[in-house]
Amino acid sequence: MKVVSTSKSHGGVQGVYSHASEACACDMTFAVFVPPQAKDGPLPVLWYLSGLTCTHANVMDKGEYRRLAAELGLIVVCPDTSPRGEGVADEKDNWQFGSGAGFYLDATQQPFARNYRMHSYIVDELPALIASQFPADMERQSIFGHSMGGHGALTIALKNSEHFRSCSAFAPIVQPMTADWSRPALEKYLGKDEKSWRAYDATALIEDGHRFGEFLVDQGTADGFLKDGLRPWLLEDACKKSGIALTLRMQEGYDHSYNFISTFMDDHLKWHAARLAK
């Protein structure tokens, strides 16, 4: 692991790191905030998965999580959203596929299967690195994310419920199998057989029997992607039918930007911290 940069913030350290990823067969960059309480022993880990077009840097710059994470004693890990770099297959002018659009899945179709393995990266490889390099109590992990990263958080929590104490999302893509901005990506990464897509769709996973304790979801009513791309009511339906506790908060007048995320960041951090307490 290489240290790209470190900077003191709210008494802790906001760092950016890179490493040669085996899962993604390329160098990957990620951000970690370590709060000041780390000097007294291992701390719980909160994973934040970002949305389409983002790198690790968007939430690090605009998410406004450090003040309260420093107070609550949470390590916050912010991975990239896809493999990147020379030799990584990409569609340069398509913001909904390739670089910045890994959809937290393991691609099976060439040429993408070589690098686009964000599910394995987030679930297996990066946690092992975090455990070895940071003062992290890996028995206490939670996960959240925004938009495509909300999709990532929900699907990863549903498939790995034993790893995460809690899961929340800002404006998540809850049913990527049927949304115009994600269907083409699923087909290119996973092939034409839609059965294989179900492992990467929160509502399909719930239909197929996966469960998680409870979800907190915030969604802005002025979000331009609400009706076609996000559609939280589909998650609400799936949760009702399956008995999963969902707190869905429709936030009047908020859009899809980090102004929305940062407004409700404190609520999510407190909600996770309560569930990550020893």
CB of residue 13 vs a copy of itself: minimum separation in angstroms? 9
What is the identity of the amino acid at 244? I
In sequence order, the β-bridge partners of residue 5 are: 16
Site for a copy of itself contains 263 (CB under 8 A): yes
Q: Applying CB under 8 A, which of residues 56, 66, 117, 146 lies at the interface with a copy of itself?
A: 66
Site for a copy of itself contains 260 (CB under 8 A): yes
Site for a copy of itself contains 267 (CB under 8 A): no
Which residues in the 122-181 window bind a copy of itself by CB under 8 A? none
Q: Applying CB under 8 A, which of residues 4, 128, 222, 274 lies at the interface with a copy of itself?
A: 222
What is the identity of the amino acid at 134? F
What is the identity of the amino acid at 34? V
SS (H, E, C) 103-122: CCCECCCCCHHHCCEHHHHH
Print the binding letters for residues 10-29 with a copy of itself: x by CB under 8 A, - otherwise: xx--x---------------
State yes or no: is 242 an active-site residue: no
- Only one of the segments 43-51, 135-143, 152-160, 251-259 lies at the binding site for a copy of itself (rule: CB under 8 A); that segment is 251-259
Pick the catalytic residue from 119, 146, 210, 256. Answer: 256
8 A C-beta contact, residue 172 and residue 52 = no
State yes or no: is 223 an active-site residue: yes
Distances (CA, A) of 211 to 140, 142, 238: 19, 15, 11
8 A C-beta contact, residue 144 and residue 74 = no
CB of residue 53 vs a copy of itself: minimum separation in angstroms? 15
Say how far apart CA 182 and CA 178 lie, in whole Å. 8
Question: Cα 233 to the chain's mean position, in Å?
Answer: 20
Q: Applying CB under 8 A, which of residues 27, 187, 237, 255 lies at the interface with a copy of itself?
A: 255
Question: Cα 222 to the chain's mean position, in Å?
Answer: 22
- Only one of the segments 98-106, 202-210, 256-264, 270-278 lies at the binding site for a copy of itself (rule: CB under 8 A); that segment is 256-264
Which residues in the 87-126 window bind a copy of itself by CB under 8 A? none
8 A C-beta contact, residue 45 and residue 77 = yes
CB of residue 64 vs a copy of itself: minimum separation in angstroms? 5
Site for a copy of itself contains 242 (CB under 8 A): no
Nearest to 47 by CA among 121, 100, 113: 121
Nearest to 83 by CA among 65, 63, 97: 97
Site for a copy of itself contains 57 (CB under 8 A): no
Structure tokens of 233? Answer: 């009511």
State yes or no: is 147 an active-site residue: yes
Active-site annotation, residues: 147, 223, 256
Binding site for a copy of itself (CB under 8 A): 7-11, 14, 61-62, 64, 66-67, 220, 222, 253-255, 257-260, 262-263, 266
